[in-house]
Amino acid sequence: MATLKAIRKRIGSIRNTQQITKAMKMVSAAKLRRAQEAVLAARPYAEKMAALLQNLSARVAAEAHPLLTAREEKKVLLLLLTADRGLCGGYNSNLIRAAEGFLRSQRGEKEIQLAVVGRKGVDYFRRRKVEMAERYINIGSRPAEELAAELAEKLIARFLQGECDAVYMLYSRFRSALSQVPTMEKLVPVAAEKDEGEGQATEYLYEPGLEALLSSLLPKVVEVGIYRALLEASASEHGARMTAMDSATSNAAEMISTLTLQMNRARQASITKELLEVVSTAEALK
């Protein structure tokens, strides 16, 4: 059995860790509240952009703009959104596992390029000698809209220059603090579902022309899609970290309770031993 000193030292160490995990839980809860509000505010805007694109795509052919033109997917680029930090349960590992599954499913059939956002994803694939077309770390220090604009510009340029035939994005969609779902979406070429059940679409007049509007709107659709995914990923990360730190705090409390019981038993055994020694000595002196 461990000594009283060792048990007390371990209890103190676990109590210090418990204070850290409890503080991290509170910080993540505050950040989650703000991130969740940002996600809920961004979703309607993204949905309206999609509705506008659907309305426009019903009036034009796929060849009206390069970003609408689907090509045979021989070269595919995957944009993976991970976190810069750990201690958030299975958040990063679930995304990386989904990315590896995608890479394995496409290997041999298509040429796969990888663009990774977040230190955890970058470090994972760098250790495995996987070449990355783009890499971004320390994303928490940059505004999401600035990063989304830069990513959209680079990914669209790669598509238009023929470096890839399609761009997919893998991120964690936020449902709740307990549920974050790895989600795969196709970013480029921009796909808009044409509504077949509404009859003839309403006619609109566009100023400037439809082609000029598409040239302005389509890159913005890609940017808004990435921006929304970044917000979803941020909320998912904070939710996963809050849940993980809550579990760690509870586990620490259970360990402290168990060790306290062991400490009391060890102390009682020590006292009993000392009493027996005193009694034995007294009997020997008679």
Is 88 an annotated catalytic residue? yes
CB burial readout 183-204, b (16+ within 10 A) else e: bebebbbbebeeeeeeeeeeee
Catalytic residue among 88, 177, 187, 229: 88
Residue position matching structure tokens 């970058």: 122
Tokens of 174: 């936020």
User: Which pairs from 208-217 meet CB under 8 Å and 24+ separation?
Assistant: 210/56, 210/59, 210/60, 210/64, 211/64, 211/65, 213/56, 214/56, 214/60, 214/64, 214/65, 214/68, 215/65, 217/49, 217/52, 217/53, 217/56
Q: Which amino acid is at 90?
A: G
- 66 and 166 Cβ atoms separated by less than 8 Å: no
Q: Which of the residues are catalytic?
A: 88
